[in-house]
Amino acid sequence: MSQAVEVSGVIPQLGKVCFISPLGYGLYNPASAYPFGGAEVQFFLLARQLAEDVRFEVSVLTTVREGSSSEPYGSLRIFKRTAQGRLSVPPKMTMMTAAKLFGGFIEAFLSMARQFRQIGADVYFHAGAGVEVGAYALLCRLMRKRFTFVVASSVDVSTPYGLVTGPLKWLFPLGVRLAHAVVCRTEDQQRSLQERYGHRGVLIRTAHPLPQRRDIPKSYVLWVGRGHPLKQPEIFIGLAARLPEQQFVMVVSREERHSDLFKQLRNQVRTLHNIEFRENVPWCEMSQLFEGACLLVNTSLYEGFPNTFVEAALSATPVVSLSVDPDEILTKQLIGVCAEGSTERLYELTSALLHDPPRIIRLGRSAQSYALQHHGLENALHRLKDLIRTLTGQPYGAG
């Protein structure tokens, strides 16, 4: 008899859970070619796995360009809503535009209230800073639901407004304070959260399923990320130019807001013979790319705990990072190296590793061992279920 079935044969329900993932639709429908980021990948993995447990009813709220509707995806349901742009801040703020913005917020708030009533979840999860965090937290308080904020980037909790700007930026810290729980990806984030908000964050590490064991030769240096200025992809192209004998692969998720940067990157790559440029690769094809990489390079200004670090580590691929080293895992766990913000140092470290294949193998083995121990999806799922039980007042049990 299943552990989830009581003596009476009735399966106890542990809660209705909704993951608010505005940019996540491309993961559930790859044919849509909608871009997505790391926070969306984590929600996709956890929502899909959580929905396999019949004690939980799981939904995902996402944003699309076409009309609002809902559709099934495996054991969960996708709610699609159309973006209205009601909270867009104009370049110049006047009394009239400020009144219009405030009116747009009220309209969006009431619209989201109707959406929440339609979904009917007990617990709502949202990742990343924004004025909407305050709206979601307020809604959940008014509707007697539970709201959980998930830290997507370290700056969400290390800076006063998490880089949110505009006259409504105060809604973001308000939302964090009103959240019933805050999920952190690193211990550094937990400390920043405690210092700034007095919240004791729940640590649920970035996690991924274990990759298939395949004997794929490791030959190229890999970069994966969004076509966004904070990712600084041009530095990776500069690295390829400095090392013409080495093969490079660049996987870029296009963002319409930064289409000029994307065109610039594509034009720069055309001048080099040793770099392959790939656009909007489906998530299901990414694991094979990580397995074939000898190194992963990260050039971001800041991150949370990158999905790419976990995917690379699980594939025994060391990381060379320009600045990002969450909880100093690269150096403490011996899974890669960090250039501490120096572009020149990044070039030197990458070149040195490429000339030392035995060290790459050692770092790769260490990375894989670390990831298997700390970043498996089952461990994160167990922590998530415990959090949901706590939020809904359910007793702890198996599963």
Q: Provide the CA 147 distance to its chain's centre, in angstroms.
A: 18
351 three-class SS: helix
Half-sphere exposure at residue 315, Cβ-oriented, CA atoms within 13 angstroms: 29
CA distance 86 to 108: 7
Neighbours of 191 (CB within 10 A): 14
Q: What is the pLDDT along the chain (399 residues), one digit of tens a residue?
A: 344 444 455 567 789 999 999 999 999 998 888 888 889 999 999 999 999 999 999 999 999 988 889 999 999 999 999 876 555 555 555 555 656 666 677 888 898 999 999 999 999 999 999 999 999 999 999 999 999 999 999 999 999 898 898 888 999 999 999 999 999 999 999 999 999 999 889 999 999 998 777 778 899 999 999 888 999 999 999 999 999 999 999 999 887 788 888 899 999 999 999 999 998 888 888 999 999 999 999 999 989 899 999 999 999 999 999 999 999 999 899 899 999 999 999 999 999 999 999 999 999 999 999 999 999 999 999 999 999 999 998 654 433
For Cα atoms 217, 211, 305, give the angle at the middle one, nearest 5 degrees: 105
Domains in the chain: ranges and CATH: 15-207+376-392 (3.40.50.2000), 220-374 (3.40.50.2000)
Give the end-to-end CA distance of the chain in Å, rounded to a whole number. Answer: 14
Task: Classify residue 358 as exposed, middle or buried by CB count within 10 Å of its CB (0-12, 13-18, 19+).
Answer: exposed
C-alpha distances in angstroms, 300 versus 293, 333, 339? Answer: 19, 20, 12
Q: Is the dihedral of CA 15, 190, 27, 78 positive or negative?
A: positive
